């Protein structure tokens, strides 16, 4: 946080750029970085690349989000996001670019994401519940937004070690 790159709108990929060796290396690097820090998602601007690329994978028993349901491995280029349900749901969000902090963010509970996959094929995914929040959080990174911008009640902004994530709080 504080690096100007995290506040920029990132650049779209050309389809033939997606399948290049350089981009495949970048994706590999992102998986390694995300796994090193135990995240469930990472966006390219977080590792200093201002381009429209994010990855998401929720594993069972993730250290940072133990209650989260697992997801497949998703590589997202050039996404657009559409709200499918305006009902808001709140989660304690954290971010590898804002280490050590969490805050409660309310976001739409169901979204559609249209994007290009690793082979530059068009894909559409519909995400609900926690996965919908993860998509919105990661895609925000591609448009210069951080979760702290979306906290309504700033008094929830807390150090991780101060938060006891009861099941009830996770439903906030």
Query: Considering 63, 73, 118, 138, which one is annotated as catalytic?
Result: 138
CA proximity to 110, closest of 133, 137, 93: 133
Q: Is 138 a catalytic residue?
A: yes
The region of 52-60, 83-91, 92-100, 164-172 touching Ni ion under the rule CB under 5 A is 92-100
Nearer to Ni ion, 55 or 95 (CB): 95
Smallest distance from Ni ion to CB 14, Å: 25
Q: Are 1 and 98 in contact (CB under 8 A)?
A: yes
95 binding Ni ion? (CB under 5 A): yes
Look at the alpha carbons of 81, 84, 86, 88 in this order and tell me if their dihedral is positive or negative: negative
- Phi, psi at 127, each rounded to 5°: -120, 140
CB of 96 to Ni ion, least distance (A): 6
Site for Ni ion in 131-170 (CB under 5 A): none
Among candidate residues 42, 41, 48, 39, the one with its CA nearest the CA of residue 8: 48
Q: Which among 33, 30, 32 has a CA at the least distance from the CA of 54?
A: 30
Instruction: Give the x/- contact pattern for Ni ion in 45-84, rule: CB under 5 A.
Output: ----------------------------------------
| Number of residues this chain uses to bind Ni ion (CB under 5 A) | 1
User: How far apart are CB 65 and Ni ion at their closest, in Å?
Assistant: 12
CB neighbour class for 158 (10 Å; exposed up to 12, middle 13-18, buried from 19) = middle
Where does this chain touch Ni ion (CB under 5 A) — which range of 53-61, 80-88, 95-103, 113-121?
Answer: 95-103
Structural element, H or E, at residue 139 = helix 129-141
- Binding-site ranges for Ni ion (CB under 5 A): 95
Active site residues: 138
């Amino acid at each position: 946080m504080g690096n100007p790159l995290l506040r920029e709108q990132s650049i779209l990929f050309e389809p033939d750029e997606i399948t290049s060796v350089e981009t495949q290396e970048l994706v590999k690097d992102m998986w390694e970085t995300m796994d090193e820090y135990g995240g469930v998602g990472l966006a390219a601007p977080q590792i200093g690349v201002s381009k429209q690329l994010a990855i998401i994978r929720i594993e069972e028993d993730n250290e940072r989000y133990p209650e989260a349901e697992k997801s497949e491995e998703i590589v997202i280029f050039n996404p657009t996001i559409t709200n499918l349900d305006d009902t808001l749901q709140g989660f304690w969000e954290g971010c590898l670019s804002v280490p050590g902090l969490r805050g409660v963010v309310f976001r739409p509970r169901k979204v559609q994401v249209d994007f290009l996959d690793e082979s530059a094929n068009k894909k559409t995914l519909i995400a609900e519940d926690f996965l919908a929040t993860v998509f919105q959080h990661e895609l925000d990174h591609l448009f210069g937004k951080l979760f702290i911008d979306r906290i309504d009640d700033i008094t929830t902004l807390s150090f991780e070690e101060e938060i006891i994530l009861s099941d009830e709080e996770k439903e906030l």
